Amino acid sequence: MTDTEKKILDLRATLKYHSDRYYNDDAPEIEDYEYDMMMRELKALEKAHPEYDSPDSPTKRVGGKADNTFASVAHTVRMESLQDAFSEQEIYDFDKRVRDAVNAPHYVVEPKIDGLSVSLEYVNGVFSRGSTRGDGDTGEDVSGNLRVIRNIPLKLNKNIPFIEVRGEVYMPKKSFDRVVDRQLIAGEKPFKNPRNAAAGSLRQKDSEVTATRGLDIFVFNVQQVEGAEFTSHKQSLDFLKELGFNTIPFYKRVDSIDEAFAEVEHIGEQRGNLEFDIDGAVIKVDDFDDRELLGSTSKFPKWAVAFKYPPEEKQTKLIDIEIAVGRTGVLTPTAVLEPVHLAGTTVSRATLHNQDFINEKNVNIGDIVTVRKAGDIIPEVRCVNEKHSDGSFIYPTVCPSCGEEVVREEGEAAIRCVNPECPAQLLRNLIHFCSRDAMDIEGLGPSIIETFVNEGMISKITDIYRLDEAEIATLEGFKETSANNIVTSVEKSKANDLGKLLFALGIRHIGAKAAKLLSDELKDIDAVMNATAEDILQIDGFGTIMADSVVDFFKKQGSRELVSELKELGVNTKSLNVITDTRFEGMTFVLTGTLPNYKRSEASKIIEGFGGKTSSSVSKKTTYVLSGESSGSKLDKANALGIPVIGEAEFEEMIK
């Protein structure tokens, strides 16, 4: 094998990996610009060495494939990708190719929204189906989730027989900030950027979750239509506005490529001030007859090009490194910078991720560093340009908030404070304790908890159960009714199941389901506190890390004192899961797909109420797989292992 062939094969494998991470897992590991540069290198090598051409090369495909979570949709009109350009010269080369085929072309320039491309279909003016682009030929039916996006009209302003339009679902920056705040409060891994968040939200199996994410859409193309005719792209966009669609913003028709590129630059200057992400600008031939003459390649239309903006980078001085402590105790470093204007905003702080990142970049206070906005959202330090310090910055050995020694567990990048009484973790711990999956104290949302902390009414978890109705009513913005509602909700939470309390305590590695398993198996918090790791490992679904985490949590005197105080305040510490019918005892069910009459949570509750267990993965220990519509890989695995598969009708017979 030649070095060139090896390079081509390596690039194809790397691009395929990152394409899967971006399109199908919604978890990108590299920036778009790095991906684009690798793709460009591969194209150049394939062009220079046609003997190594391959039909399955990433250069021959539109990124992404249909996820088997949703039903497949075959696109009648192919949802093509766009050819990318990275320089002014490439834009003028595109114009020359266009003018070689058509006379005096006009162009429409519009921003390239960084989101997830979808198709919307309307029959007699009523929304009938929506799907993702997928690989361009086949996508996923996500109609239910698209219906909850407010800017998608369910009925058009005109009753036309049929229209299919293409748009980009995106998450506005404000919505992204809210979602990330909620994820951090819940101790979840936050979305990396708004595009990633939009894709993950649109693929939710529960449309109620999608509805909470604040998604939006811009429509930018007519795919096919009956009952209307257009001769140009601008004319079609104007028509889409009349129908009630939220069309692509500030699109502009121009008469020359000079004007087109000037508009591309104008859009680029605005991108830092927009309420949504763009990763480029698109230049399209306006006249549809001209487009017909130009045609398409196997992947791109020849009548359009996307100019991709490079990530903007600036050099500045790192003047300090601050260490913050999060809800889970993780110490997070932030670079404090001499302010620099970057991508439309003034940047004075940037993420340094963790100690490993700091060591890798050899970063320290006083260095001159290059800063850029990762995905044009989160500022990060890219590298050191001038070294003005000795070595790398070293984390403190004690928590900057409480002074307790910090630890780094084997195999983890995070350094954390494990003191449950740490003041820096108080607010986030309180918010988590009151959240829906935990103690579910209605009325005690993040802003109200913060108010009570600032007023000195809450300084630890148990103070929640000492809140005074009269004192709350004296605060600005509160009345007797709202004060009474809060106190009533606090009192109601005392009767919660032990599982909710265990989750509320914020034990590392213990989610809501694991907390319920502990409650159901051990029945009483005293049994949980006194259990050994070996005892907990006997519970199906628990591994060594989870078991050790529970034991370590209750070893701490502060944890035991907290439980003792909660008991004195009347909080229930016993399991309420009393099983009188044990027909499913010893059985494990795996649920997959969508059931017509039950939410998964409802079906799981029924199974557990009859003494059974539910699991998220199929194994030889699985008794039944309860399968609904659009079942995916779990169904395939069940069939391969010979696990009995039942539908909703059979399930209802079993629970009569």
What pLDDT, in 10s, does the model give residues 120-160? 999 999 999 999 998 888 999 999 999 999 899 999 999 99
Burial track 162-182 (b if 16+ CB lie within 10 A, e otherwise): ebbbbbbbbbbeebbeebbeb
Q: What is the DSSP letter of 465?
A: G
- pLDDT exceeds cutoff 70 at 182: yes
| pLDDT of the residue at 622 | 92
- pLDDT exceeds cutoff 90 at 99: yes
| pLDDT of the residue at 63 | 57
The pLDDT confidence band at residue 520, using thresholds 50, 70 and 90, is confident
Beta strands in 403-521 (DSSP E): 406-407, 416-417
| pLDDT of the residue at 447 | 85
Burial track 8-33 (b if 16+ CB lie within 10 A, e otherwise): beebbeebeebbeebbbebebeeebb
Q: Which residue's entry shows tokens 């699991």? A: 615
| pLDDT of the residue at 248 | 95
Percent with pLDDT over 90 in the chain? 55
| pLDDT of the residue at 149 | 93
| pLDDT of the residue at 3 | 86
Question: Following DSSP, what letter does each residue of 54-69 receive, concatenated?
Answer: -TTSGGGS-S----TT
Tokens of 123: 């029959």
- Taking the CA of residue 138 as centre, how many other CA atoms within 13 Å lie in the half-sphere pointing to its CB? 7
Number of neighbouring beta carbons within 10 Å of residue 48: 9
| pLDDT of the residue at 379 | 85
Mean pLDDT, residues 62-70 taken together: 59
Residues 280-322 pLDDT 10s: 999 999 999 999 999 998 789 999 999 998 877 889 999 999 9
Which is more confident, 77 or 602? 77
Please choose, from the candidates 320, 315, 323, the residue with its C-alpha nearest in 3D space to the C-alpha of residue 383.
Answer: 315
Q: Which residue's entry shows tokens 């991720």? A: 353
Measured CA to CA, the distance from residue 390 to residue 413 in angstroms comes to 23
- pLDDT exceeds cutoff 90 at 196: no
Measured CA to CA, the distance from residue 245 to residue 231 in angstroms comes to 19
- pLDDT exceeds cutoff 80 at 374: no
Q: Record the pTM.
A: 0.59
Give 378's strand partners: 374
| pLDDT of the residue at 223 | 96
- Average predicted confidence (pLDDT) for the chain: 89
Measured CA to CA, the distance from residue 137 to residue 341 in angstroms comes to 42
Mean pLDDT, residues 201-225 taken together: 90
Spatial neighbors of 169 by CB under 8 A, at least 6 apart, are 115, 116, 117, 118, 146, 149, 198, 202, 215, 216, 217
| pLDDT of the residue at 244 | 95
Lowest mean pLDDT among 76-80, 551-555, 630-634: 630-634
First CA to last CA across the chain, in angstroms? 66
| pLDDT of the residue at 561 | 92
Mean pLDDT, residues 36-43 taken together: 87
Measured CA to CA, the distance from residue 350 to residue 336 in angstroms comes to 7
Measured CA to CA, the distance from residue 120 to residue 140 in angstroms comes to 12
- pLDDT exceeds cutoff 80 at 23: no
The pLDDT confidence band at residue 25, using thresholds 50, 70 and 90, is low
Give 334's strand partners: 322, 351
The pLDDT confidence band at residue 412, using thresholds 50, 70 and 90, is confident
8 A C-beta contact, residue 492 and residue 485: no
Please choose, from the candidates 199, 30, 204, 206, the residue with its C-alpha nearest in 3D space to the C-alpha of residue 113.
Answer: 199
Residues 241-265 pLDDT 10s: 999 999 999 999 999 999 999 999 9
Active site residues: 112
| pLDDT of the residue at 145 | 92
- pLDDT exceeds cutoff 70 at 114: yes
